[in-house]
Amino acid sequence: MFSVNIKAVKGLLEQLQLICNELKDKNEFTIINEYGCSARRCTAALTICGICSLFAFLVAQFWSSILDNILSINVSESHHLPIPMEYFIDQEKYSYWILLHFNVSYCIGATAMVGIGATLVAYLQHTCGMFKIASYRIKDAMSNNMLQNINLKNKFLIYEGLIWAVDIHRQAMKLSELLVSKIEKMLFCLIIIGVVCLSLNLFLIFQIASYGDDIKEILFPFVFVTICILYMFIANYIAQDLTDHNNDHFATVYDVQWHEAPLHIQKMILFMLQKGAKDFTVGVSGLFVGSLECFATLVKTSVSYFTVIYSTQ
């Protein structure tokens, strides 16, 4: 996703950096830093999840050997891969090398997933910070001190504050839409793959539990199900967060004492209210609109496919 769009992603990150460098006062820097801290916490949480899943994979692969050594059972056990793969060599003789290859591949894949996911979360969290700054600028421009003492200087300051608020709000919407448009096709493929993967792994878990197979075999599909659900939830939660921040901005414009401002300023506020009356959403191909409702729909669809597969077996 990122390697194909490396120039576009780099350009978007540079635009975000330029916008953050143009913030006006310490309160705005405080707001953007708060969202930066939130992004760092999400990155740490995703990293911990990746490490835990890797640890679970390693324990499951060598659990039998560990128990044999603890219980001093001298029984040779054949090693098998968590995921069926075809190697054109003696898999029993080179079992540990094959497991090493599998685990290194998983580490690389997990690192890519965590890195890309954390980058997208950080980018969109800073975009949410821009929406928050737009609301702050509206409140600051339309403060009671300004409205109670309307003179030429204060009129100019109100105009300037509203212009800067509209500008950063427009840029936040533009950056969000540009990011989704650049990776829209990839996201659509990931959504389809995620639903299929979730359905098949739910079916595999049910099969292992129903037929009394080795219970440790259930760990791998369980990890895959957890990863799919976690990724779906985070993606839709961030998209929902963008929509909520835009709605908060609209509420801020509505709540300020705009009726006490001069008529020409009221007209500007009316234009902003009309712009905010329409919900701002980010979606993929017009089919999936990022929201918690979409997350519930994707999970429900996956469960439905799982039940269809189970009923036709």
Residue 255 has pLDDT above 60, yes or no: yes
Q: Which two tokens stand for residue 268?
A: 């500007």
Q: Which pTM was predicted?
A: 0.82
The CA–CA distances, whole Å, from 279 to 54, 59, 250, 273 equal: 40, 47, 10, 12
Read off the DSSP letter of residue 263.
H
| DSSP state letter for 212 | T
Residue range 63-75, pLDDT digits in tens: 656 555 555 554 4
Using alpha carbons, list the distances in angstroms from residue 182 to 112, 166, 176, 199, 238: 18, 24, 10, 28, 17
Token representation of residue 114: 């965590």
Query: Would you say residue 98 has pLDDT above 60?
Result: yes
CA–CA separation, 135 and 38 (whole Å):
19
Kindly report, residue by residue over 17-63, the tens digit of the pLDDT.
888 888 878 888 999 999 999 999 999 998 998 888 888 777 766 66
Confidence (pLDDT) at 143: 75
Give the mean model confidence (pLDDT) for residues 132-144: 84
Tokens for 109, please give them. 């894949």
Q: Answer yes or no: are the C-beta atoms of 167 and 273 closer than 8 Å.
A: no
pLDDT at 126: 92
Checking phi first, is residue 116 left (phi over 0); if not, alpha (psi -120 to 50) or beta?
alpha
CA torsion sign, 203 to 301 to 229 to 86?
A: positive
How many residues would you count in the chain? Answer: 313
Q: Give φ, ψ of 283 to 5 degrees.
A: -140, 175
The answer for residues whose C-beta is within 8 angstroms of residue 77's C-beta and 6 or more apart is 64, 65, 68
